[in-house]
Amino acid sequence: MSEAMQRYYAQRAPIYDAVYAKPERQAELRALERRLPRLLAGRAVLEVACGTGYWTQFIAPRAARLTATDINAEPLALARQRPGVERVTFAQADAYALRAALGTFDAAFAGLWFSHVPIERRGEFLRGLHARLAPGALVVLLDNTEAQLRDLPLAERDAAGNTWQHRVLPDGSVHRVLKNFPTREELHALVAGIATQARLRRGEHFWEFRYRLAA
Ligand SMILES: C[S@@+](CC[C@H](N)C(=O)[O-])C[C@H]1O[C@@H](n2cnc3c(N)ncnc32)[C@H](O)[C@@H]1O
């Protein structure tokens, strides 16, 4: 994610949770709020780009331990105030430079992050993430389906195939935000040969891609 997008999310932090208030998303959200913690129960979880900690609050009570990271201090400050996160270790970290000092984990989770990874950096992101995980670890990526385009249509497509939205913040500023919608084939190809049990579940508003690193 570019520095411009990093600043956009720092500025957007106080109003970010509006994405979880959209009426049409509620049924799917309730199901995911039950399902994701179950998937990650009992594991040492590394969360990438945790933002305001929406998913952190549900995963934390069931995880053996959880380290939740984000590049921006603003959303992290809000995440720390969520109920149920008392045992969570929060850390400022760049998703493309997850340092060894964060520890070793047997699961990873990233919510609404992968769509912001440029196509040409997907491999780099996943290699860096996998370096923090033990063999056999479970990885769960959750993101928006194209239903999100009803509110935020695509404005541009670049030469690499990345798609971009123009988003407006309450102060009227307009931000060019990279938002990709990877296909099933692209997701599976990214982990071919390094993962087992790769599975994509597509709902109306969210997709969930999960796999296990080869042991
Ligand atoms: C769409 S939000 C997702 C927040 C949260 N995971 C959720 O599902 O609600 C994207 C988050 O990525 C963070 N971010 C942007 N660039 C980043 C980077 N290079 N490394 C880690 N986090 C980054 C932003 O600060 C923002 O909190």
Confirm whether 19 is domain-assigned. Answer: yes
Confirm whether 68 is domain-assigned. Answer: yes
Which atom of ligand 1 lies closest to the CA of 75? 27
Does the beta carbon of 40 sit less than 6 angstroms from any atom of ligand 1? Answer: no
| Residue reference for tokens 């040409």 | 120
Own/partner contacts of 122-130, CB < 8 Å, gap of 24 or more, are 122/182, 122/190, 123/190, 124/96, 125/95, 125/96, 126/190, 126/191, 128/95, 128/96, 128/97, 128/98, 129/46, 129/48, 129/95, 129/98, 130/194, 130/213
The total number of structural domains that make up the chain: 1
Reading the chain (215 residues) residue by residue, the pLDDT tens digits are: 588 999 999 999 999 999 999 999 999 999 999 999 999 999 999 999 999 999 999 999 999 999 999 999 999 999 999 999 999 999 999 999 999 999 999 999 999 999 999 999 999 999 999 999 999 999 999 999 999 999 999 999 999 999 999 999 999 999 999 999 999 999 999 999 999 999 999 999 999 999 999 99
Confirm whether 34 is domain-assigned. Answer: yes
Q: Residue 2's pLDDT is what? A: 80
- CATH code for the domain of 13: 3.40.50.150
Confirm whether 177 is domain-assigned. Answer: no
Q: Residue 1's pLDDT is what? A: 52
Q: Tell me which residue has its CA closest to atom 1 in ligand 1.
A: 112
Alpha carbon of 190 to ligand 1 centroid (Å): 21
- For ligand 1, mutation pick of 5, 7, 8, 9 (most atoms within 8 Å of CB): 9
Cα 91 to chain centroid distance, Å, stands at 15
Range of the structural domain that residue 115 is part of: 3-146+183-213
Question: In the numeric block, which tokens belong to residue 204?
Answer: 């109306």
